Amino acid sequence: MKIGIVGCAGRMGLMLIQEVLATSGATLAGGIEPGGAAVGQDLGLLAGTIPAAVAVTTDTKALFAASDAVIDFTTPAAAKIHAELAAATGKALVIGTTGLGEDARAAIAAAAKKTVIIQAANMSVGVNVLLALTEKLAATLGPEYDIDILEMHHRHKVDAPSGTALVLGEVAAKGRKVSLKDVARTTRDGQVGARPSGEIGFATLRGGDVVGDHTVVFAGDGERIEITHKASSRVIFAKGAVRAALWTKGRVPGLYSMRDVLGLG
């Protein structure tokens, strides 16, 4: 499968290059950047590995034309454009970008009617197991257990709560058959009063070089259950994204998640 990478000179882009080159059944179709010193360089050498015999370009349309699937870990605005290109070319698109707004989500949903789109706030296999467990526990334990989601990331992360934390909240709410927007509490400050029954809370920490830690707490009377995933390397996101790209082969158009890729439902 020919895999293209947008934002190929970024931190995630370089890891994706390495992972594609190391994965059986995958071929590096190309990579793009909007400009800068990386343009014209060999993708493999740029990523510190073997020559790939394909250079970084700025031509997004040509990248989609040359690829079977494209992986995007860039920005919400770019994800919207790439979704539209995927729909126009019929190529699969794997989106790991977080902080998507309504415009980007609408474009992705529209594109998924014409091609295969995999969109996930977190491409880690482990995190998606955490999502499945969170939904199951929320359904099993019931509203008498308070749910809080704690996440920590590096000091440079710009959005909060993290996309993964919000998805954890969504699956917890789904397990309870409620809408997250009706029960979410993203901040607590001052005299907030007693906690309402059924509330799903979020807590955010930022500091250092933390790749990503997520803990879901189910606090009941007399006991507490905590499930945690800690990422020590961004390689797990690249591995998951390439696995997702390979999974798109032969699939019918639609909007899929990593839980679909992993068979977690």
> Tell me: the pLDDT tens digits for 169-192?
999 999 999 999 999 999 999 999
- Rounded-to-integer distance, Cα 140 and Cα 103, Å: 35
Where in the chain are all domains bearing CATH 3.40.50.720?
Answer: 2-119+234-261
Where in the chain are all domains bearing CATH 3.30.360.10?
Answer: 125-231
Q: What mean pLDDT is reported for the chain?
A: 95
Which CATH code fits 125-231? 3.30.360.10
pTM: 0.83
Residue count of the chain: 265
pLDDT at 98: 83
For 32-89, write each residue's pLDDT tens digit. Answer: 999 999 999 999 999 999 999 999 999 999 999 999 999 999 999 999 999 999 999 9
Detail the DSSP E strand segments found in 154-253.
Answer: 184-185, 200-206, 212-220, 223-231
For 207-255, write each residue's pLDDT tens digit. Answer: 999 999 999 999 999 999 999 999 999 899 999 999 999 999 999 999 9
Identify which of 135, 134, 155 has the alpha carbon closest to the alpha carbon of residue 212.
155
Q: In what side-by-side order are the strands of the sheet with 223-231?
A: 184-185, 200-206, 146-153, 212-220, 223-231
> Where in the sequence numbering do the catalytic residues fall?
153, 157
Domain spanning 2-119+234-261: CATH superfamily: NAD(P)-binding Rossmann-like Domain (3.40.50.720)
The 10 Å CB-count burial string (b at 16+, else e) for 90-105 is ebbbbbbbbbbeeebb
